[in-house]
Structure 1
Amino acid sequence: MIVAGFGFRTGATVESLHLALEGARHGRLTITHLASPQDKLPLLEALATELGLSVIGVVPDVLTAIVTPTRSIASLAERGVGSVSEAAALAAAGPGARLIVHRCISSDRMATCAIAQGATS
């Protein structure tokens, strides 16, 4: 399982998510699932429909329990976690998952994407 986790601002668009994903993928990784906090699923589901991928919603308590390698002041203030995208990717990829791409910020600065690989992938 290779999960692209997302964090994004309220004004983000599907294009913002595309930009963040492409920056993180570098055109080479095959993603199997997308993940974000549960309250952000509607926009992520639009991207998932375009890409034909499944979506995983992550509950707040799970996000805040994950220590991320990068730290965003905005993420800490809003969600209590260093990087929403990294935490979502790791949580959705399951126990023993590891980040294979740290958060990448979209060129419009509205979204971030990080990629994690599950332990059984």
Structure 2
Amino acid sequence: MKAFLGIGFRSDATLASFEDVYEKVKSGFQICGVATLSGKEKTQAFIQFINELDVPVSVHSRESLARLKTPSITVKSVEVYDVSSVAEASALAAAGPSGQLCGKRQVSEDGMATAAIAMQRKIAGEV
């Protein structure tokens, strides 16, 4: 099964913010991709973090993320993007229609980044 890391963050998040939240959420998963909200992938600290992980990045529109139901609701995320949780919705979007979240969304110590992991489950009849 493939694991996808969804990341939500404030524009002033640092590389340390990403590394911290990643350590909290990775828990033995082998990450095969990182996902976030379209436009955020251009942030310098995010680019540095992705370069460290050396995995593909997928970006998703506000509209596509807003359609996904997530267990967490972040007031700021709803106000700004109309998305309940950028990290959880991004992880689910990357994992595809059979995606399921693995555990709770985590927040970096400085509160600047959030992360969630979703697994791509096999669909019945898939080999």
- Indicate the TM-score class for this superposition, using the shorter chain for normalisation: over 0.9
CA contact (8 A) 2:62 2:83 kept: no
TM-score, with structure 2 as normaliser: 0.88
Query: Aligned equivalents of 1:84 and 1:101: distance in 2?
Result: 15
Kept in 2: contact 1:7–1:84 (CA 8 A)? yes
Question: How far did 1:45 drift?
Answer: 3.0
Say if 1:68 and 1:81, in contact at 8 Å, map to a contact too: no
Aligned-pair CA distance for 1:69: 0.5
Structure 2 partner of 1:95:
97
Please list the CA deviations of residues 62-107 of structure 1 after superposition, one character each: whole Å capped at 9, or x if unmatched.
Answer: 1100111011111111111211100000001111100013210000
**2-side partners of 1:98 and 1:19: how far apart?**
23
The alignment's C-alpha RMSD in Å is 1.4
Displacement after TM superposition at 1:113 (Å): 0.1
Q: Which runs of 5+ in 2 are unaligned?
A: none
Q: After TM superposition, give the deviation of residue 42 of structure 1 in Å.
A: 2.1
For 1:37 and 1:45, locate their aligned partners in 2 and report how far apart those are by CA, in whole Å: 14
Provide structure 1 residue ranges, at least 5 long, that are not aligned to the other structure.
Answer: none
Aligned to 1:37: 37
Flag the structure with larger Rg: 2
The size of the alignment, in residue pairs, is 120
The separation in 1 between residues aligned to 2:81 and 2:19, in whole angstroms, is: 22
- Between the aligned residues of both structures, percent identity stands at 33
* Superposed CA offset, 1:40-77 (max 9, x none): 00233321111111111111111100111011111111
Q: Distance in 1 between matches of 2:104 and 2:78?
A: 16
Residues 27-50 of structure 1 deviation map (CA, whole Å, 9 limit, x = unaligned): x21111111011100233321111
